[in-house]
Structure 1
Amino acid sequence: MKKIITIICLAITVTSCAQKKPNIIFLFSDDAGYQDFGFQGSKVMITPNLDKLAKEGVKFTQGYVTDATCGPSRAGLITGKYQQKFGYQEINVPNYMSPNSKFLGDDMGLPVDQKTIADYLKTIGYKSAVYGKWHLGNADRFHPLKRGFDEFYGFRGGARSYFPYSNFNGVHHDNKMERNFEIFEEPKKYATDAFADEAISFIEKNKNNPFFIYLAFNAVHTPMHATKEDLAKFPNLKGKRQQVAAMTFALDRACGKVLDKLKELGLDENTIIVFSNDNGGPTDKNASLNLPLSGTKSNHLEGGLRVPFLMKWPKKLKAGKVYDYPVSTMDLLPTFFAAGGGDVKDLEEIDGVNIVPFVNGANKARPHKELYWKKEARAVYRENDWKLIRFADRPAELYDLTKDITEQNNLASQEPERVKMMFKKLFAWELTQERPLWMLQQRFEKYDIDRMDRYRTPELVKKEMEQYDKSK
């Protein structure tokens, strides 16, 4: 009898401790514009659920990703480190890659020796699921269920239809909707809503245990697919701008459904919720807007690297706070691990930091005095608020982001010693990185530079959008 009582007491204690761990949900959009949310100042987009999240949590004015494109950005956030450390410098889209790369096709993916956020959370008692876009490798060895996650519903590749395929003729396996492992099951509804439903089901099944959900929407990445009902919400818009508004509305609705379920189950007070985006919006592809920033996806202006970023944790963070120091999506791994009771000293060679002590005021310093970005010859070094951009086709540029977030006033000629010093530090960082495991065909570099110049100033962006609307 004493043994039975002891076992029961121990079980109660373990359950109690487990329930004290916060649940974690990461809401992640794809190719959204920096301005394209109500909480970011948009007067066009309808995003009441995310606007409410911003009011109830912390809004970061300088949230960054580790790369301006999908795959590398995801590799950085899921490992908590600069992806260049393990050679993941380029996007993993086979038809864009040089045939001389070390790895091609399905062999391109997150190296299996890299631990993921789900791997680490598993060690401290979390169940984890990923729903939506994976884009970290198509081969079976890169599959989410082999990278620490317990459940998966989504697609392995980078983009697919938002509506179910009637048949799989001509559809590559990485674009098929997959439940767990090689069980191909097309959604019965619009994909954005389907992913939210999967997350809700996981919450209901694990409401008594600590869980982590990586809800990686493919919205608002191309193809530009929206329902008739959502398009009808924006009768005054045209063309792709109407489509991206409808897709954003659906994204917000899906996020709201998940947040409502947490409240219904009484889990909202003990759940960390983060919302962010994988890179800047590609204005020419989906009519997204990154204003007031210059630049777009795939380049190193702020419009390619700075993203919307929200975090809510009622037990630790005050509602309505605005945090102005730079943070990065690579900070999420150590932040979540520490929140769940893990010791960040157990994390291997990460570059991210636990941002909670900085945000709640326990630590008054910056989370990052230095940040780096790199894609072949192009690279960025940010030291405090000074930003150096190195190009392949023109002299380097230097900006003071405290005075010039639109990056219009190049100070390189006025600060030659600073430029020289920052060049040296950037090069020293590069020497610690691995060579890329696969390389982009050089002709695509020109596309990235041309896109940057096309959207180099807010004035150019506004002019293009005006012409685009008239043409439609």
Structure 2
Amino acid sequence: MKHPVLLGRSFLIGLSVLVCSSLFASGPPNIVLLFADDAGYADFGFHGSREMRTPRLDALAEEGMLFEQAYVTAAVCGPSRAGLLTGRYQQRFGFEENNVPGYMSESCLPDNEMGLPLDQTTVADHLKTLGYRTALIGKWHQGNAERFHPLHRGFDEFYGFRGGARSYFAFGNGNPNHRPEDRIERGIGDFAESDKYLTDAFADETIAFIERNQSGPFFVMLSFNAVHNPMQAEAKDIEEFPNLAGTRRQLAAMTLSMDRACGRVLDKLTELKLDENTIVIFTNDNGGPSDANASDNSPLSGTKATHLEGGIRVPFVMRWPGVTKPASKYEHSISMFDLLPTFYAAAGGNVGDLKKVDGVDLRPFVAAENKARPHQTLFWKKESRGAVRDGNWKLIRFPDRPAELYDVSKDVAETNNLAGAHPDRVKAMFKQLFAWEMTLERTKWQLKREYEGADLKHMDEYRK
């Protein structure tokens, strides 16, 4: 008779083989990325909001892992998406923190020359090589010319608009002056306005894509324009918030609509029995622009377009069956450029084959196999402004005042500037930031100078 310890060990080995065989039999996981636009850090129930109602996303957080320090690579929409799509600091290929096109200096490239450079490989490109069907539903904002179109950047399907913002209702007599890039498009060149509220239309298309590709594997990025302005909600949702007023009431209604849309997508995964083999992530592209949409970034200071935490730290929830534990939290810093290598590895790819990516595969970290930080250092840059986070220390460089230094582990609102107390650290981190900048390309386009001044004004007005 075998020793009891050996019997126990044999049982565990057999169980491990069974689990691995089961996971292998289910095939590579599907991937659903639910991506909000301009949402405030505090404007979700899972972050403690008592005004916003997000029951479906709150439930997702309970089923998965809430990341306490998730960062975007830029504090505005377009470059933030470029970093996510490529797994790189977008400044490495000249896509600095300036949206494309529009608002640009007259010395810049023509509008149709601005877009995600064609020599950059996207997450959709990589996943297609591993047999995935891919779709981008919603906002693109990576260039308006056809050569920058999602269908030329690794996505098999596209339904949405090429620009950065548009009406939530169909263009018609009430919206006569829309731009070409704001038109709703299916594929390339098939322009037709939806008769539905746009958040619902995007959810419908995502659900239809999942139904068509349920044999998998698939990757779909549901890129909401909610809750970016214009602030347009449906009357039925506005009525749900009688205690709020003005823009804040519109925001609450739009957030409820987005939450409901996310819930419908999650329900479809469950209905088709895909939920146990699907990675679902909900996150946001940058901090909330409190002046434009009444968003709340508490307890963080700052807003969209600033390098304070309120501009670059975002909500992030991941449900990955077998990897994330229900109702768990992850405390270390991650970046949106980590999604590309994470998805690639989950799909069966060898991360070592990825060239020039700045992100890392998050699975070993969130599964607690690796207790180290995914990143010791993270950087941000917009023209002469910049920031570097090294461990718990964060330095912010400005064009109009001395640099500021914070210990964000103790001072998340960045109210206690420690630069005067730690001059050697300021000097060292200044050099860190400059050394990183020496590895970057020159920016390919720049905003008019007036917008840089407006961003600094936003920073000063939205300090805690």
Query: Do they superpose with TM above 0.5?
Result: yes
- Secondary structure of 2:332 counterpart: coil
List, as ranges, runs of 4+ consecutive aligned residues in structure 1 with deviation greater than 4 Å.
Answer: 16-19
TM-score, normalised with respect to structure 2: 0.94
- 1:126-176 Cα deviation digits (max 9, x unpaired): 000000000000000000000000000000000000001126853221000
The residue type equivalent to 1:158 in the other structure is G
Distance 2:101 2:378 in 1: 29
- 1:346-380 Cα deviation digits (max 9, x unpaired): 11200011111001110010000000000000000
Does the CA contact (< 8 Å) of 1:19 and 1:210 recur in 2?
Answer: no
Equivalent residue, structure 2, for 1:75: 82
Which of 375, 379, 386 is matched with 2:386 structurally? 379
- Secondary structure of 1:330 counterpart: helix
Work out whether 1:322 is the aligned partner of 2:291: no
- Secondary structure of 2:204 counterpart: helix
Distance 1:359 1:248 in 2: 28
The residue type equivalent to 1:136 in the other structure is Q
Distance 1:57 1:371 in 2: 25
Distance 1:321 1:18 in 2: 27
The residue type equivalent to 1:180 in the other structure is G
The residue type equivalent to 1:356 in the other structure is R
Distance 1:70 1:181 in 2: 23
Does the CA contact (< 8 Å) of 1:18 and 1:209 recur in 2?
Answer: no
Distance 1:96 1:331 in 2: 29
Equivalent residue, structure 1, for 2:233: 226
- Secondary structure of 2:427 counterpart: helix
Does the CA contact (< 8 Å) of 1:104 and 1:438 recur in 2?
Answer: no
Once the two structures are TM-superposed, the CA of residue 91 in structure 1 deviates from its matched residue by 2.4
Equivalent residue, structure 1, for 2:460: 453
Equivalenced residue count is: 441
Distance 1:288 1:193 in 2: 21
Counterparts of 1:14-33 in structure 2 under 5 Å? 19-33=26-40
Once the two structures are TM-superposed, the CA of residue 402 in structure 1 deviates from its matched residue by 1.1
- Secondary structure of 2:323 counterpart: coil
Counterparts of 1:337-352 in structure 2 under 5 Å? 337-352=344-359
Equivalent residue, structure 1, for 2:72: 65
Alpha-carbon RMSD across the aligned residues, in angstroms, is 1.1
Equivalent residue, structure 1, for 2:419: 412
- 1:66-115 Cα deviation digits (max 9, x unpaired): 000000100000000000000000323444111112x2312110000000
Distance 1:148 1:17, change over 3 A: farther
TM-score, normalised with respect to structure 1: 0.92
Work out whether 1:110 is the aligned partner of 2:116: yes
Distance 1:19 1:49 in 2: 26
Distance 1:398 1:117, change over 3 A: same
Once the two structures are TM-superposed, the CA of residue 18 in structure 1 deviates from its matched residue by 8.5
Counterparts of 1:26-425 in structure 2 under 5 Å? 26-101=33-108, 103-166=109-172, 169-425=176-432
The residue type equivalent to 1:316 in the other structure is V
Does the CA contact (< 8 Å) of 1:19 and 1:208 recur in 2?
Answer: no
Does the CA contact (< 8 Å) of 1:18 and 1:210 recur in 2?
Answer: no
Distance 1:191 1:216 in 2: 11
For structure 1, the 5+ residue unaligned runs are 1-15, 458-472
Distance 2:100 2:354 in 1: 30
For structure 2, the 5+ residue unaligned runs are 1-22
Once the two structures are TM-superposed, the CA of residue 221 in structure 1 deviates from its matched residue by 0.1
| Percent of paired sites with the same residue | 61
- 1:195-227 Cα deviation digits (max 9, x unpaired): 001000000000012000000000000000000
Distance 2:110 2:447 in 1: 11
The residue type equivalent to 2:361 in the other structure is N
Once the two structures are TM-superposed, the CA of residue 50 in structure 1 deviates from its matched residue by 0.1
Distance 1:20 1:419 in 2: 49
Distance 1:124 1:94, change over 3 A: closer
